Chain A
């Protein structure tokens, strides 16, 4: 196998003014992989807005840093481990968690929470040949995340899961983490000539060789040496040792070792800090002897950190490592010549400018509107409404994309750290307590079905949904992380969907004035069966300073139920079409940003006035599913007149299952205040029903009952669906 393609080889040769040797090519090969270099995406993601007055560090670092006042910062980052997880789900998912935690640590902050966004193929369809493989991937990914996060002692507080045929035999495993720390403990990253470079933690071995390049092409399942091996216990003591070293000011610069191993870590650090590094390979602690120089440089052995410190602070740092039983070695020295020089026993093996390694030649890939849009449009026929609406509702509540994810989140320790205010499954966003009276809300969202049918509107929808989730918890959105996952970018049609997604993020963030604080691009998500659907995952952070909201009494019977926002005839890509009718096509929901922003502001004001006793935004599954979720979570029944819902739909099934954005269900005992306020602000809304005592969920249409279900029945279906599909015990 050629290490570099011919154009990259020639580019390198021209810049070096000589032929690169094999080691140099391997170093370049790792760093110039799509995974590390962002060569296909960089020129496009650079156009996104990234600043606000509280952003300390935006994208381009290991994690984004946001000032939350009182001398404290939060850090946030999102990563994926898709390729490894598709081959070895337990180890792949676990090392994904480990990697993102070290990114948070690298900034100088302690990780306080993990969230995950997972995507799998269908698990409920026994006729699908991949059904069991998909279930196997789900079970082992979840266990991998649980085993790692639980052991490290960082709570997994939330996330989202989506099932779709386009992920058959594959999976997307996105892990996000939040850190919290002091502004003055942030790593300064100022280094000088003769400072020392230390590698600590795990030994370097043959695991994860070519991991970055493996993740930068279509999936080859037999490439097992590219998979990394997790050790959460080592990560835990590495975190504790590093935090002690941060507090004692022993670290001038640090970076975790992730994709591309030492090659990427060294070149990116040297390039960012505009210094040169001289590395002595024989000083690197190795797991085994039979490892080549190239393998040492690109190994992705986990739980390793690179530290740079002065001679003066070295002893103090080593004392901390010794105390925590962390292995370490001085592997090199800082100089001013801006080169990465690799030596072994004093003999020079490779020498290249750090800037050259860290900055791959960027590509401006061609794009073309995919042909599949037209094919779908041509073959699309609006499905016929089923007669029995009650049965339909019962069927939909158990759909894997809709039902409770309790089977998953109960395996995660979501309480350790004693910050978890909102529990998984019970709120629209995760809420973590930072200090008395100050909380951070975080949510991850995605919708590959909408993004497939319309990448632009689909992405806008995911962004709107994510912000709505923060609004529901009383938060003010302060930053977004984006994780853009697509198939092979060399395919012009796939690249077009990527560009549409970027366009939507740019428009949304500029309009809503919320900056992008970090992100990741993962391309080549393809198996031999084809590419995944476009799957941008959006994480939105919100700051909550109002504690009154948490103290509101839960809703009681006779309180009024309102819907805010218009239900449009937009059923394309909905769970109703795809899960019940098995139809792919139709118009996907569109976002009107002006009205979204107006509705969000109004809802926030009403929440702050403590008028609202329960709130939920309408998303997957449409109005009826969101209403049932409110009902299940608050243990209450309802009586709703469907005719009152403001809608453009002509069919009742579409009204109930359309996934139009910018809609909220609220329950209030301050009915007239809410009405007055919404009329004054010229917002579409309706009072559609009341909370009832009898724990029955009743829908009326033209004064006729069209759906009459016991809450206990719905609760059981909703909560036990995944465990019954997987045929496992709930607890």
Chain B
């Protein structure tokens, strides 16, 4: 059976939500990772959202330098899929596992709303259940979600097909090229600002939005099973 681990840092606050979705909606074997050193028995790691260490210094930066993240890096090197959501994405860029940086939204304000995003790469462990350019509905909630990187790195990730999700029709934070998610060159690590766990219980999806974002987690399970 698929075994998913969810990291819990002091200040993580979406850990219980992700856990709930895997456990009750996806009937997956899921557990929290708080102190464990050996993560080899996990098939996938989720770094959930929140304000790890109160987002002091910079969002995600303290968790990025924790020993728990060293362990995550080790198994990511072995090709185990790692998904960072929101603060998890911030931790992944701060730890150097993903390129670029996430800076304060161009509005300089926290923004929480439902958005539609486009799947721009369907060949990752996190997006394989979607079709190219499929639109999925999913909420965002962040103050520092403006994805930035220098020109050379940008053309690198573009050429390498590392942009996996893009905001559709609107750009809620000023991210370069409407980027909502990127993966590493190998494709086994992805960071995304939107929250798929908040769009995985149909009762919580507002009228007018589609019910397909759970496909992110289903992709992961399907990838592990194949």
Cβ-defined contact, B206 with A426, below 8 A: yes
Name the residue of chain B whose CB is nearest to the CB of A550.
B203
A411 to B110, CA, bound (A): 5
What B residues does A417 contact at CB under 8 A?
16-17
> Chain A 136-155, CB within 8 Å of chain B: the 1/0 string?
00000001001100111100
Does B50 lie within 8 Å of A421, measured CB to CB? no
| B119 part of interface (Cβ distance < 8 Å) | no
Per DSSP, chain B at the interface is: loop
Contact string against A for B residues 46-77, beta-carbon threshold 8 Å, 1 for contact and 0 otherwise: 00011101111000000000000000000000
Contact status B204-A420, CB under 8 Å: yes
Q: Would you call B107 and A233 a contact (CB within 8 A)?
A: no
Find residues 60-96 in chain A having any chain B CB closer than 8 Å to their own CB.
none
Q: Is the CB of A325 within 8 A of B201?
A: no
Instruction: Determine the interface band of chain A, counting residues with CB < 8 A from chain B.
Output: 35 or more
CB neighbours of B51 from chain A (8 A): 150-151, 153, 232-233, 236
Contact check, A236 vs B56: say whether CB atoms are below 8 A apart.
no
- Residues of chain A within 8 A of B139, CB atoms compared: 415
Contact A416 to B56, CB < 8 A, known contacts A324-B10, A433-B203, A731-B111:
no
CA of A455 to CA of B204, assembled, Å: 39
Across the interface, which residues of B come within 8 angstroms of A234, CB to CB?
Answer: 54
9 contacts between A and B (CB under 8 A): A151-B51, A152-B13, A153-B13, A233-B11, A324-B10, A410-B112, A414-B112, A417-B17, A418-B201
Specify which chain B residues have a CB less than 8 angstroms from the CB of A418 in the assembled complex: 17, 20-21, 197-198, 200-201, 204
Contact indicator B203/A421 (Cβ below 8 Å):
yes
Contact across chains for A146 and B17 when beta carbons are under 8 A apart = no
Q: A416-B141, A433-B204, A550-B203 are in contact. Are A236 and B172 (CB under 8 A)?
A: no
Top 9 nearest A-B pairs by Cβ distance? A153-B13, A233-B54, A151-B51, A413-B141, A418-B17, A415-B198, A413-B112, A411-B110, A729-B107
Chain B 187-201 against A: per-residue CB contact (8 Å), 1 yes, 0 no?
Answer: 000000001011011
Is B113 touching A410 in the complex (CB atoms < 8 A)?
Answer: yes
B13 and chain A: residue at smallest CB distance: A153
For window 128-179 of A, CB contacts with B under 8 Å fall at 143, 146-147, 150-153
Shortest B208–chain A CB gap in Å is 8
- Per the bound structure, the CA–CA distance linking A1 and B25 in Å amounts to 62
Is A411 a contact of B50 with CB atoms below 8 Å? no
Within 8 A of A (CB), among B5-21: 10-11, 13-14, 16-17, 20-21
B23 in contact (CB, < 8 A) = no
When chains A and B are docked, how far (Å) is the Cα of A409 from the Cα of B44? 34
Distance of A418 Cα from B141 Cα, bound (Å): 13
Question: A151–B105 Cα gap in the complex (Å)?
Answer: 16
Is the beta-carbon distance between B172 and A731 smaller than 8 angstroms?
yes
Instruction: Check A415 against B203 for contact (C-beta < 8 Å).
Output: no
B109 at the interface (CB under 8 A from A): yes
Query: Which of chain A's residues 202-237 have a Cβ closer than 8 Å to chain B?
Result: 231-234, 236-237
Which residues in A have their C-beta under 8 angstroms from that of B27?
Answer: none
Q: B113 contacts which chain A residues (CB < 8 A)?
A: 410, 731
Q: Which residue on A lies nearest to B139, using beta carbons?
A: A415
Minimum distance in angstroms from B174 CB to a CB of chain A: 9
Task: Report A-chain residues with C-beta under 8 Å of the C-beta of B173.
Answer: 731
B contact residues around A644 at 8 Å (CB) = none
Q: Which residue of B lies closest to A634 (CB)?
A: B207
* A contact residues around B208 at 8 Å (CB): 635
Chain A residues near B195 (CB-CB < 8 A): 415
Task: Digitize A402-435: 1 where CB-to-B-CB distance is under 8 Å, 0 elsewhere.
Answer: 0000000111111111111101001000000100
Query: Which B residues lie within 8 Å of A370 (CB)?
Result: none
B13 touching A411, Cβ below 8 Å: no
Query: Considering only CB atoms, which chain A residue lies closest to B15 in the complex?
Result: A153
Indicate with 1 or 0, residue by residue over A376-419, a CB within 8 angstroms of chain B CB atoms: 00000000000000000000000000000000011111111111
Listed residue (A151, A152, A730) with the most chain B CB atoms within 10 angstroms of its CB: A151
Interface size class of B (residues with CB under 8 A): 35 or more
Contact with B along A233-253 (1 / 0, CB 8 A): 110110000000000000000
Cα separation A654 to B173 with both chains bound (whole Å): 44
List residues of B whose CB falls within 8 A of some A CB.
10-11, 13-14, 16-17, 20-21, 49-51, 53-56, 105-107, 109-114, 139, 141, 143, 170, 172-173, 195, 197-198, 200-201, 203-204, 206-208
Closest to B17 in A: A418
CB-CB under 8 A from B14, the residues of chain A are 153, 416
B55 pairs with A151, CB closer than 8 A = yes
> Which A residues are in CB contact (< 8 Å) with B50?
153
Residues of A within 8 A of B204 (CB): 415, 418-421, 433
The yes or no answer to A554 lying at the interface (CB within 8 A) is yes
CB pair A236 B13 closer than 8 Å: yes
Please name all residues of chain A whose beta carbon is closer than 8 Å to the beta carbon of B110 when the two chains form the complex. 146-147, 150, 411-413
> How many angstroms between the C-alpha atoms of A300 and B114 in the bound complex?
38
- With both chains docked as a complex, state the minimum distance between the C-beta of B82 and any C-beta of chain A, in angstroms: 22
Q: Which residue in A147, A325, A410 is a CB contact (below 8 Å) of B111?
A: A410
Q: Are A411 and B141 in contact (CB under 8 A)?
A: no
Q: Complex: how many Å from CA A71 to CA B102?
A: 44
Q: Please measure, in the bound complex, the distance between the C-alpha atom of A423 and the C-alpha atom of B205, giving whole angstroms.
A: 9
Residue with the highest number of chain B CB atoms closer than 10 Å, among A417, A554, A635, A730: A417
Complex CA gap A324/B47 in Å reads: 19
Which B residues lie within 8 Å of A237 (CB)?
10-11
Q: Which residue from A143, A151, A423 sits with its C-beta under 8 Å from B54?
A: A151
Cα distance A324–B9 in the bound complex, in angstroms: 10
A289 CB, min distance to chain B CBs, angstroms: 25
Q: Given the complex of chains A and B, what is the CA–CA distance between A412 and B201 in angstroms?
A: 21
Given contacts A153-B50, A421-B204, A426-B206, whether A416 and B13 have CB atoms under 8 Å apart is: yes
CB-nearest residue of chain A relative to B56? Answer: A233
| Measured CA separation A426–B205 after assembly (Å) | 13
Contacts of A426 in B (CB 8 A): 206
Measured in the bound complex, the distance between the Cα atoms of B204 and A494 in whole Å is 45
Residue of B nearest to A633 (CB): B207
A614 to chain B: closest CB distance in Å?
A: 10
